Amino acid sequence: ANAFYVSAVDQGDTAGSIHPTKKVELGRRVALVAAGLNMGLPVVYKGPVVTGYVVKSADNAINVTLELTIDPSSVGSGLVIKSTSCPATYSNGKCAGWQIADRFGNWRNAFIFFRDSSNTTVYVNGTLPSNAARVTGLRFGYAAWPLCDLYNIDGLPVTPFRLNTTHDVQASPPPP
């Protein structure tokens, strides 16, 4: 492939411009792509790429946890979750990161986490209404201000995506 994109989803400017002010970081990311794709050097040049998910658990079919499938070539030396928040200029629902769609196609905010210290498996957790307890999609970065919190250790962010699939949610069996 002779074309590639460089994600700047985490480089937003609170002034409302679509042109990021952090040009040095964008230049670093472009250089990584050139080194990896064009020069064949062994560098990580893309952030985590989510390719799928599996419903891992559900409490009363309301609290849903998804296990993400991430392209191994985009993980690099590992994954990290960074703290993020919505700037005051982008309040009133204009910020979102991870979202899960219910059976009616309504997108509901969710959050990511690691279950153990290995930081290799990423989970998304969200709440669905009991009358809509079917996961029909997962997306990241669909907002005026995407809350980017998943990176690889090389400092590259997850790329915005949307996966439309249907997974019935069933309550987890009670513990013995």
- pLDDT recorded at residue 60: 63
167 vs 3: CA distance, rounded Å: 34
66 vs 122: CA distance, rounded Å: 9
144 vs 128: CA distance, rounded Å: 23
- pLDDT recorded at residue 65: 87
Write out residues in the chain with pLDDT < 70, as ranges: 1, 14-18, 20, 58-61, 89-93, 118, 166-176
Give the CB-side neighbour count of residue 172, counting CA atoms within 13 A: 13
- pLDDT recorded at residue 16: 62
Tally the residues of the chain: 176
71 vs 47: CA distance, rounded Å: 10
106 near 100, Cβ under 8 Å?
A: no
- pLDDT recorded at residue 5: 86
Is the pTM higher than 0.85? The answer reads: no
Q: Which residue has the tokens 């069996």?
A: 173
* Pair of tokens at residue 2: 């002779």
